[in-house]
Amino acid sequence: AYEFSKFGRQLGCGSGIEELMDDLGHALASGGANVKMLGGGQPARIPEMNAVWRRRLEELMEESGGLERTLTSYDPPRGNPRFLEAIAGIFRDQFGWNITADNVAVTAGGQTAFYFLFNLLAGQMPDGSSKKILLPLVPEYIGYANQGMSGDLFRACTPTIEKTGPHEFKYRVDFDNLKVDSDVAAICASRPTNPTGNVMTDQEVARLSELAKANNIPLIIDNAYGAPFPSIIFTDATPFWDEHVILTFSLSKIGLPGSRTGIVIGPPEVIRALGSMSAIAGLSNPSTGQQIVLPLIESGEILKLSQEVVRPFYEEKCKLARRAAEEAFGDEVEWFMHRSEGALFLWLWFPDLPITSRELYERLKKREVLVIPGAPFFFGHSDDSWRHRDECIRVSYAMDEEIVRDGLRIIAEEVKKAWKAV
Ligand code: PLP
C-alpha cells in the first residue's frame, strides 16, 4: 500500500458525510420505486426553469460564437470577464453596493469556494499558530465539516433555542457567549441555513458584521439559497455587504447544480487569491453555467425568475410539507419543527427522544424513508452534554408532495414507536 500524506489522510480517506451520502446513494440504487428520498440536497426540477435552460442552450447553439464560448475555450481562472462585470453590475444596481469586477470570482460550485476560502484564511499559519473558522450558530452546513487541509477547522457556538409556537422553534445567535478569540480567522454562516431553514435576522447579521470588523476578520455569508438568486427565502431579510464581508452565491439551487458554478463577492485581495487557487487546482472553471445565465443577469431576468418562479415553488412545497408534518405528528408525542424561513428542508426536533437520531435514521432506512440524522451538522461543537445534537433530523421537501407526505407519516410512526417501547 502507498503511504498517504497528511493532506491525503485528511481529504482522501473518507469522512462521516461521505459515508452518509454513499449510504443514501446505495439505498436509492438498490431500493425499489418505493424509496422516499428525503435525504439529499438535490434541488427540485422546476419545469419553468428547465424550459429557460433549454431556451438558453438553443440560443447559444444558434448564436455565432455561442458554442465556442460555452464549450471550447478556457476562461481566465477567476471567471469569464463579462460574467464578472455582469455580477458586479447586478449587485450595484439592486443594492447600491460599491463593487466592481475586482470584487468577484467564479469557482467550481459554492462547495469549492468554501474549500478555498477556509483553507486560505484558517488552518496552519506562517508563524506556526493555528486558526479557526467560528460558526456563530450550529447546526450548520455539513459540507463545510471536513474541508480543512490541516485538520479540524471549526469552532461552533451553542445557539439559544426560542420556542415560537406549540410545535415550532427558532435558533438564535447567543451573542452573550459568542467569543472571538485571537485564533479566530473568520466568522461564517449560511443564510438561509442548511439544514434548518433558519434565516439569521438583519440584526443578527449586523451584529456579526460589527464583531468581525472590530476583530479585523472577515464575515463569510453563504447565500446558496439566498437573495437575490435563487431567493428561496420566505421572510424579510436584507442582503448585506461591507468591505470586510465575503458573500458566496451558487447557480445550483436555482436549478443548475450540474453546471458547478459558484460566485464569490469579497475584498479584492481575497478574490485574487481565489483566482490563483482556481488556476492551481483546476486551471479554469466550468463555463457552461456562466454562459447560460449571463444574459439573464445582464437583463435582470434572473431576479424575476427567482421571485416569480423559484421562490413561490418552494414556498408552496414548504407549506404543504409543514401541514403534512402537523397531520402526521399531531399532539401524541413531543415534536418541534424549526421555523421554516428558507432553503429546502424541514428540521425536526424530538426532545428527549429515547433513541438517537442516528438510530431513528437506521429504522427509517429499513422502511425505505431516507433522511439525514442531525448530529453531523453540529461539527465544531464540543459540548457532549448537549443532547439536542442527537434529537434532530433533516427532511428535504424538494421531492413530490406525495413522497414527502408518506415519508413524514412514516417518520411520525417510527418516533411514536420509539416512545411506546420505553
Ligand atoms: N452552501 C450550502 C449551504 C449548501 O447547502 C450547498 C449545497 O447543498 C452549498 C453551499 C454548495 O453548493 P454548490 O457547490 O452546488 O454550489
Q: Are 396 and 38 in contact (CB under 8 A)?
A: yes
**Domain co-membership, 27 together with 100:** no
Residue 64 lies in a domain: no
**pLDDT (tens digit, 9 = 90+) per residue, 201-220?**
999 999 999 999 999 999 99
**Domain co-membership, 310 together with 361:** yes
110 Cα to the center of ligand 1, angstroms: 5
| Total count of residues recorded for the chain | 422
Residue 230 lies in a domain: yes
Q: Helices in 141-214 by DSSP H: which ranges?
A: 202-214
Nearest CA to ligand 1 atom 5: 194
Residue 60 lies in a domain: no
54 Cα to the center of ligand 1, angstroms: 23
For the chain, give the percent of residues with pLDDT over 70: 99
Quick check: helix, strand or coil at residue 20?
helix
- The continuous run of DSSP H or E covering 384 comes out as none
Residue 56 lies in a domain: no
**Domain co-membership, 294 together with 321:** no
63 Cα to the center of ligand 1, angstroms: 31
Residue 21 lies in a domain: yes
Residue 79 lies in a domain: yes
- Helix (H), strand (E) counts: the chain: 13, 16
Residue 23: which CATH number?
3.90.1150.10
Q: Are 378 and 139 in contact (CB under 8 A)?
A: yes
Q: Return d(Cα 202, Cα 99) in angstroms, integer.
A: 21
- For the CA of 110, the closest atom of ligand 1 is 16
**Domain co-membership, 148 together with 213:** yes
Which residues lie closer than 8 Å to 195 by C-beta, 6 or more apart?
139, 141, 142, 343, 345, 347, 372, 374, 377, 394
Residue 55 lies in a domain: no
Which residues lie closer than 8 Å to 296 by C-beta, 6 or more apart?
52, 56, 302, 305
248 Cα to the center of ligand 1, angstroms: 10
- For the CA of 251, the closest atom of ligand 1 is 16
Q: Return d(Cα 105, Cα 418) in angstroms, integer.
A: 49
**Mean pLDDT confidence for 12-28:** 79
Q: Out of 40-44, 240-244, 281-285, 304-308, pick the least confident.
A: 40-44
**Domain co-membership, 132 together with 176:** yes
**Domain co-membership, 290 together with 314:** no
Whether 31 shows a pLDDT value over 70: the answer reads no
Q: Return d(Cα 162, Cα 50) in angstroms, integer.
A: 39
- For the CA of 114, the closest atom of ligand 1 is 10
- Please give the mean pLDDT across all residues of the chain: 95
Whether 32 shows a pLDDT value over 70: the answer reads no
Per-residue pLDDT band at 239 (split at 50, 70, 90) = very high
**pLDDT (tens digit, 9 = 90+) per residue, 125-149?**
999 999 999 999 999 999 999 999 8
**Domain co-membership, 92 together with 186:** yes
**pLDDT (tens digit, 9 = 90+) per residue, 370-417?**
999 999 999 999 899 999 999 999 999 999 999 999 999 999 999 999
Give the domain range for residue 154: 73-300
Q: What is the separation of C-alpha 103 from the centre of its chain, rounded to a whole number of angstroms?
A: 22
Nearest CA to ligand 1 atom 1: 224
**Domain co-membership, 384 together with 401:** yes
Nearest CA to ligand 1 atom 4: 224
Nearest CA to ligand 1 atom 12: 110
The best mutation among 194, 196, 232, 261 to test binding of ligand 1, ranked by most ligand atoms within 8 Å of the C-beta, falls on 194
Cβ count within 10 A of residue 27? 16
Residue 227: which CATH number?
3.40.640.10
**Domain co-membership, 22 together with 124:** no
Q: How many CA atoms lie within 13 A of 73 on its CB side?
A: 12
Q: Return d(Cα 137, Cα 166) in angstroms, integer.
A: 23
Number of domains present in the structure of the chain: 2
Which residues' Cβ are closer than 6 Å to ligand 1?
41, 109-111, 141, 143, 190, 194, 222, 224, 250, 252, 257, 262
Nearest CA to ligand 1 atom 6: 224
Q: Are 31 and 332 in contact (CB under 8 A)?
A: no
What pairs with residue 121 in β-bridges? none
Q: What region, left, alpha or beta, does residue 273 occupy, with left being phi > 0 and alpha being psi -120 to 50 degrees?
A: alpha
Q: How much helix, strand and coil, in percent to the nearest 5, is found in the chain?
A: 45, 15, 40
**Domain co-membership, 313 together with 279:** no
Nearest CA to ligand 1 atom 2: 224
Which of 252, 268, 300 is where one domain is finished? 300
- For the CA of 111, the closest atom of ligand 1 is 14
**pLDDT (tens digit, 9 = 90+) per residue, 332-366?**
899 999 999 999 999 999 999 999 999 999 999 99
Q: Are strands 219-222 and 184-190 parallel, antiparallel or unpaired?
A: parallel
215 Cα to the center of ligand 1, angstroms: 27
**Domain co-membership, 261 together with 345:** no
Say which DSSP state 157 is in: P
Which of 278, 300, 322 is where one domain is finished? 300
Residue 106 lies in a domain: yes
Output 37 or 170, whichever has higher pLDDT.
Answer: 170
Which residues lie closer than 8 Å to 245 by C-beta, 6 or more apart?
209, 212, 218, 219, 220, 221, 266
Which of 258, 279, 300 is where one domain is finished? 300
The best mutation among 222, 225, 254, 290 to test binding of ligand 1, ranked by most ligand atoms within 8 Å of the C-beta, falls on 222
**pLDDT (tens digit, 9 = 90+) per residue, 88-134?**
999 999 999 999 999 999 999 999 999 999 999 999 999 999 999 99
Cα-based distances in Å from 139 to 84, 135, 353: 32, 9, 18
Q: Which three cell numbers stand for residue 345?
A: 428542508
**Domain co-membership, 287 together with 334:** no
